[in-house]
Amino acid sequence: MTIKQIEQGYKGSFILDENGERLGEMTYTIAGEKLIIIDHTEVSDKLRGQGAGKISAGCRGVRPSK
C-alpha cells in the first residue's frame, strides 16, 4: 500500500493506493502558515478496522508552497 500526495497551490490530497486501486483519500486546503483544513476523507470498506483512516497523519509535513 502506498500513500501519494498531490498538491496544487493551496489545495491538496493524500491518496491511499494498492495495486492501482484507490482505497482512501483525504483532501485539504492550506489556510495559513499554521492552519490546514481537512475538508474530505474517505476510506474503502475493504480497509475497515485496519486503521487506514490514519492517512491524515501524513498532513503534518504539509507546508504552503507559495
Per-residue pLDDT of 25-57, as tens digits, reads 889 999 988 888 988 888 888 887 777 666 555
- The three three-digit cell numbers of residue 43, written as one number: 476510506
Identify the band that residue 8 occupies on the pLDDT scale cut at 50, 70 and 90: very high
Q: Given the DSSP bridges, would you call strands 21-32 and 2-8 parallel, antiparallel or unpaired?
A: unpaired
**Location of C-alpha cell 475493504:** 46
Q: Supply the pLDDT for residue 11.
A: 95
CATH domain 2-55 topology: Aminopeptidase (3.40.630)
Q: What integer pLDDT is reported at residue 55 of this predicted model?
A: 56
Kindly report the pTM of this predicted structure: 0.72
Please name which of 29, 50, 26, 52 lies closest in space to residue 40, comparing C-alpha atoms. 26
Instruction: Give the CA distances from residue 11 to residues 2, 20, 34, 56, 57, in Å, rounded to whole numbers and listed in that order.
Output: 20, 23, 15, 14, 17
